[in-house]
Amino acid sequence: MKRILALFFCGLICLSAAGCGKEEPFPSVATEPSVTQEPSTEPPETEPTEPPTEPDPDAPYRARAEEILSGMTTEEKVYQLFMVTPEALTGVNTATRAGEATQQALSEMPVGGIVYFADNLETGEQTTQMIAATQSYSRLPLLIGVDEEGGRVARVSTKLGTTAFDPMADYGAAGDAEAVRQVGATIARDISQFGFNVDFAPVADVVTNPNNTEIGDRSFSSDADVASTMVAAMVQGLQSGGVQSCLKHFPGHGSTEADSHKGASVTGRTLDELRGTELKPFAAGIAAGAGMVMISHMSAPNVTGSDAPCDLSSAVVTDLLRGELGFTGVVITDSHEMGAITDSYSPAEAAVLAIQAGTGRNLMNETYEVLVGIAEAHASTDATLEETCRTRHTEGDHALILVPDVHHAV
């Protein structure tokens, strides 16, 4: 309001000054009496001043993150780049409790987050206790994630009986963005009560290939504009409930046919084609405030110039997502236990390539030993890795400035 008043006042001064100095287009006839001009009582013109810069609401959290980072070793920073299953963390077959093994593992290898699946969830009380104990064992607040998209991918509602929803394609067909916003808010309420603070949703893919079964009805629409509206609404709904959303699977997995869970998956789309369709929902989700983006394992040779999976490509992660779309939040890989990765790369190779490509989090490496190997190989000798880790944690994608609830836990 002060800025508006200042501009309005300056405008009045300019108009007044223009009026006082204006000459008549034709001079008056000589018979008219001359008039002595009285001294002007108008205030002198002043240069408009810029209003004070609005304070950055995230500044205290960024400062706190920087303070914590400065006290961490390179090894600790490497571990923070990974979000793993509790089984990978502890070595047990199926984790349904968090006890001494979890505490010891987090003490020695402080990862940045844990992702849970249906097998980890037995009851609401058990899930709440497991997650709370896990958080209590970590020196830094953990990202606690789950796939709760609605429709056929819904770990929590399937096992714990929370609200179930129809496939997202049905909501896209109905065209009701407010209904989708409510879906997001309900999912956030349902999963946050157990301690989850990250939902790997919404699916922002546009299904342009009718033979695509990996995505299928998980997508809101084959129309990019419809998908964009629904993705933005879901992001708003999730985050209104204090749960961080994660757009997936960048740069758009809807044109492929093969299932990347089982092996290589390729899109022939060009960059211009992606811009005209697939990238639109991601741009809409980012504009709506999504703090995370998951990169797919599909290959896009007409974009990257190689057969490398997109999450191992700097052309996709750094140039396209960070550069062209201007995304400054967390960039996370899809699961590194999927066939598109394991068929061609060792866990360590995939992890290093993903970090070099620009991702800020690696999801679900095959064995936790890969973290140990990376840390031991580079922590004390590789200055480049130290700088890479620091960059990944300060590009706006450190957990401490990601999840609203985490702000207050540090």
| 364 three-state secondary structure | coil
Q: Give the active site residue among 176, 217, 261, 382.
A: 261
Distance CA 396, CA 330 (A): 7
Domains, the chain, with CATH or none: 74-407 (3.20.20.300)
The encoded tokens of residue 69 equal 């980072």
- Assess whether the previous peptide bond of 251 is cis (omega < 30° from 0): yes
pLDDT of amino acid 69: 82
Distance CA 132, CA 335 (A): 24
pLDDT of amino acid 345: 87
pLDDT of amino acid 143: 95
Provide DSSP, 140-152. SPPEEEE-EEETT
The encoded tokens of residue 269 equal 């789309």
* 337-376: burial string, b at 16+ Cβ within 10 Å, e else: bbbbbeeebebbebbbbbbbbbbbbbbbbbebebbbbbbe
Cα 372 → chain centroid: 27
Give every CB contact of residue 290 below 8 A, 6+ residues apart in sequence. Answer: 235, 239, 245, 246, 247, 329
The encoded tokens of residue 355 equal 């970090």
Distance CA 97, CA 120 (A): 8
Q: Give the active site residue among 147, 199, 223, 334.
A: 334
User: Strands (DSSP E) along 271-325, which ranges?
Assistant: 292-295
Query: Could you confirm whether 272 is annotated as catalytic?
Result: no
pLDDT of amino acid 339: 79
In tens digits, the chain (410 residues) has pLDDT values of 333 223 322 332 232 333 333 333 323 333 344 444 455 555 555 566 666 777 877 788 778 878 888 888 888 888 888 899 999 999 999 999 999 999 999 999 899 999 999 999 999 999 999 999 999 999 999 999 999 999 999 999 999 999 999 999 999 999 999 999 999 999 999 999 999 999 999 999 999 998 888 899 999 999 999 999 999 999 999 999 999 999 999 999 998 876 677 667 889 999 999 999 999 999 999 999 999 999 999 999 999 999 999 999 999 999 999 999 999 999 999 888 887 788 888 888 888 888 889 988 888 765 555 655 565 555 544 545 566 665 665 554 444 334 333 333 33
Query: Could you confirm whether 334 is annotated as catalytic?
Result: yes
Distance CA 181, CA 187 (A): 10
